[in-house]
């Protein structure tokens, strides 16, 4: 077989790339992945993440780098993610880390708060939220069991600021029976997150008995599913409306929704 890469005649000049594609290439080259470069700067505190999370965070948090935030991560382990986040956010940030293991208290330091307790304990979560909240970003990298992830989301979601993010890592445990998961297992975190998709759309139905309007419709901007990671973005929003424009005249309407029998909610 002939070598498909062998050139038999001079290669034609490459077609000019569209301007947008060019801009994307330049942008990607100009913005090094902080999370990847951080891997070479760790100390003896081990960092433990799935490799592809570094690319997800690079994309997801592009507007957050250097900003002063209130950030909380559940799960400290060997402490490796503390400096990862400390170096990513601004120097005026409040960084809070939770763990059930009392030994993790040793990781507290300047600008780094450590709280010891169980992420499945609503009383503990409430006390932490009252002390440090509200939060711009919460990352759950704790015990990864279903009741832990669900309880933390339920009790910490109200403490996320408008336009903030709630991130749950290692959601592959939703498929592991040992963690309370299983394929399409009711109550697994992945199933809870799928339910959120319905709830986000609960504006658009009049099936009140089986599908009532849920507060998530006013609060959830997006639910993003990555491999083993779910991200919920909060946006406190008005009911959706259509927008039309003709001859430069813009009109807004909520008719599309009222025909579905939800006049009462507007």
**Of 12-20, 136-144, 159-167, 186-194: span binding ligand SAM (CB under 6 A):** 136-144
User: DSSP string spanning 27-53?
Assistant: HHHHS--HHHHHGGG--SS-----TTH
Q: Does 47 bind ligand SAM (CB under 6 A)?
A: yes
Classify 254 as helix, strand or coil. coil
Between 75 and 181, CB nearer to ligand SAM:
75
CB of 36 to ligand SAM, least distance (A): 15
Q: Does 180 bind ligand SAM (CB under 6 A)?
A: no
Structure tokens at 30: 């100009």
Q: Does 148 bind ligand SAM (CB under 6 A)?
A: yes
144 as an active site residue: the answer is yes
Greatest alpha-carbon span in the chain: 73
Binding residue for ligand SAM (CB under 6 A) from 70, 93, 119, 188? 119
Q: Does 115 bind ligand SAM (CB under 6 A)?
A: no
The closest alpha carbon to 234, from 169, 153, 126, belongs to 153
The DSSP call for residue 109 is B
CB of 175 to ligand SAM, least distance (A): 17
Which runs of consecutive H residues, i.e. helices, occur in the chain?
19-30, 34-38, 53-60, 80-88, 122-132, 146-156, 189-200, 216-219, 255-258
Q: Does 75 bind ligand SAM (CB under 6 A)?
A: yes
Between 3 and 43, CB nearer to ligand SAM:
43
C-beta of residue 219 within 8 angstroms of C-beta of residue 164: no
CB of 41 to ligand SAM, least distance (A): 14
**Of 21-29, 116-124, 154-162, 254-262: span binding ligand SAM (CB under 6 A):** 116-124
C-beta of residue 216 within 8 angstroms of C-beta of residue 209: no
Interacting positions 226-265 with ligand SAM (CB under 6 A)? none
Mask 194-233, x = binds ligand SAM (CB under 6 A)?
A: ----------------------------------------
d(CA 95, CA 86): 7
Handedness of CA 230, 235, 240, 245 (dihedral sign): negative
Q: Does 50 bind ligand SAM (CB under 6 A)?
A: no
Q: Does 98 bind ligand SAM (CB under 6 A)?
A: yes
The closest alpha carbon to 134, from 155, 117, 110, belongs to 155
Between 37 and 258, CB nearer to ligand SAM:
37
Which residue is associated with the tokens 């259509």?
A: 242
Binding residue for ligand SAM (CB under 6 A) from 27, 101, 208, 227? 101
Handedness of CA 52, 101, 177, 201 (dihedral sign): negative
Binding residue for ligand SAM (CB under 6 A) from 42, 54, 67, 77? 77
Q: Which residues are catalytic?
A: 144
Residues that bind ligand SAM (CB under 6 A): 47-49, 73-77, 80-81, 98-101, 118-120, 141-143, 148
């Amino acid at each position: 077989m002939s070598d498909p890469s062998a050139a038999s005649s001079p290669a034609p000049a490459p077609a000019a790339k569209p301007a947008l594609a060019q801009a994307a290439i330049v942008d990607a080259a100009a913005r090094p992945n902080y999370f990847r470069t951080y891997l070479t700067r760790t100390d003896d505190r081990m960092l433990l993440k799935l490799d592809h999370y570094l690319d997800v965070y690079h994309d997801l948090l592009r507007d957050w780098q250097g900003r002063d935030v209130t950030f909380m991560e559940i799960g400290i382990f060997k402490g490796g993610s503390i400096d990862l986040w400390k170096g990513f956010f601004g120097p005026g940030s409040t960084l809070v880390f939770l763990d059930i293991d009392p030994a993790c208290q040793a990781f507290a330091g300047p600008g780094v708060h450590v709280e010891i307790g169980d992420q499945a304990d609503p009383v503990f979560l409430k006390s932490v939220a009252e002390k440090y909240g509200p939060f711009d970003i919460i990352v759950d990298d704790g015990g990864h069991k279903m009741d832990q992830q669900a309880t933390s989301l339920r009790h910490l979601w109200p403490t996320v600021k408008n336009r903030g993010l709630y991130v749950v890592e290692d959601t592959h445990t939703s498929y592991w029976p040992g963690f309370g998961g299983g394929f399409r297992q009711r109550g697994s975190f992945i199933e809870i997150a799928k339910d959120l998709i319905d709830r986000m759309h609960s504006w658009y139905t009049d099936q009140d008995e089986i599908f009532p309007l849920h507060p998530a419709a006013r609060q959830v901007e997006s639910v993003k599913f990555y491999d083993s990671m779910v991200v919920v973005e909060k946006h406190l929003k008005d009911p959706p409306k259509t927008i039309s424009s003709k001859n430069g005249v813009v009109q807004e309407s909520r008719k599309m929704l009222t025909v579905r029998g939800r006049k009462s909610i507007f």
